[in-house]
Amino acid sequence: MLRAFHAKSLISVSALLVVLLGCSSEHTSTTSTTGDPPEGAGGFGGSGGGVGGSDGSGGGVGGSDGSGGGVGGSDGSGGGAGGSGGSGGGAGGSGGSALACDERWTAACPLPGGGATPTLLVQGIQGPKDLQIAGDFLYWSTYPIATFNQGTVTRMPLQGGAEQVVVTGVNPGKLMIRGRRVYWVEFGRTIQWRDTLSGAQGTLWSTSDLTGKVSDMIADTATGRFYWTYDGTSGAAVMTAPFDGGATTRLASLPRGSFHYDEWVRNIVVDSQAVYWTTTSAVMRANLNGSGLTVLASTPCPEEFSEVISGIAVDESHVYWIDRSGPGDAVLRIPKQGGETEVISDASVNAHHLVLRDGFVFTNGMESGIGTMLIMKGPKAGGCPTQALVAQQHSPFAFVVADSSLYYLHGLFANGNAPASLSVVPL
């Protein structure tokens, strides 16, 4: 069922590098703290515009004096980035197709049949936030609502066994694991770590911005670096730091209003050539050195939704994500260098997480707005989901895939204070 989609494809923003990119260094160590990326240097300065709509109108990323040019829409019209003196200029965006809001796709896939029976591993998990796999262990973070310093990071063997609390007395969110070190986002604004063997601990990065938030982070062995997405008062940023310590680099910056409304960066993934991330309404990429900032695709109707893009994954040729702007939710993909956006699955609503594995895409979602919760498996090359691995009333809100099994956290309003559970199902 591989079909063309509505997204604006490959809007080049190389003309905006002086505004949007600021590969400025910020200190990274085990103890020191850095503030919010400064205005101006990283592209946060100026008060102008936003990326134009699908007809190329509107927009403008502010120049250093606050005025701006205008990034062209998908039909190639529109302006360019404002210069240092605020003057307009630059070429419009590259061509591409975009459907009107009333021409969005409608769900065509039937719901798949059920799979094997899940096995319950852990019950009574209070306030779960994230689930990760590293080596032979599962790791999850908990941060119960309306508590302070009562969160934990816990692990257990993939094959089952005793739970081991490796971090206590914290307020963790997202997790990443590298060797013996467990990294977590503390209060949304600091990335801390602890050695599970020696007990040594430290801080990878932090900000003094009380409204700042690290949305996602990954550790990439191939490049030897950490990558994370950050939202602050002045704007959003994609950040990186080396494993062995040293300067933090801001790969890309997005001032508030860069798109149709205040934009937030969300999920992030990296390969050997580039970094890819989602915002609330777009999919973007940049080279590993921060050059070549490009909008691969964006939704045509973001005014109707607060957050329509979620989840991201890559394989050798494509970028995959979930678009929630239709009557249901769709898994989409686009070539890494840009091109035509395709719908590969559109079987559920309220999906927000996806994983690629062995030629298949795994997503969560539900039958309807208040229906049975699902984790589905389908071919990543396109076609309807072939199997519902999980089908139950209690939300499977986070899942990971390892070997021949899928592990997931689930529970009624599981991402709050209601107790959640951890289960596994064979693929």
What pLDDT is attached to residue 35?
Answer: 36
**What percent of the chain lies above the pLDDT cut of 70?**
64
- pLDDT (average), residues 61-81: 33
User: CATH number for the domain including 242?
Assistant: 2.120.10.30
Point out the least confidently predicted range of 191-195, 196-200, 273-277, 343-347: 343-347
224 belongs to a structural domain: yes
Indicate if the pLDDT at residue 353 is higher than 80: yes
297 belongs to a structural domain: yes
Question: Under a CB-based contact definition with an 8 Å cutoff, are residues 172 and 159 in contact?
Answer: no
What pLDDT is attached to residue 356?
Answer: 93
161 belongs to a structural domain: no
Q: How many helices (H) and strands (E) does the chain have?
A: 1, 31
What pLDDT is attached to residue 306?
Answer: 59
- pLDDT (average), residues 157-175: 94
Question: How many independent structural domains does the chain possess?
Answer: 1
Indicate if the pLDDT at residue 98 is higher than 60: no
Mean pLDDT comparison of 91-100, 190-199, 226-235, highest-scoring range: 190-199
Per-residue pLDDT band at 427 (split at 50, 70, 90): confident
What pLDDT is attached to residue 301?
Answer: 58
342 belongs to a structural domain: yes
What pLDDT is attached to residue 208?
Answer: 87
What pLDDT is attached to residue 181?
Answer: 96
Q: Domain limits at 220?
A: 207-346
332 belongs to a structural domain: yes
Tokens read off for 72: 């062209």
318 belongs to a structural domain: yes
What pLDDT is attached to residue 43?
Answer: 31
DSSP codes joined into one string, 23-91: --EE---SS----SPPTTTTS-------B--TTS-S---B-TTS-B--B--TTS-S-----TTS---SP
283 belongs to a structural domain: yes
Segment 115-147, tens digit of pLDDT: 778 899 999 999 899 999 999 999 999 998 878
Point out the least confidently predicted range of 55-59, 161-165, 386-390, 411-415: 55-59
261 belongs to a structural domain: yes
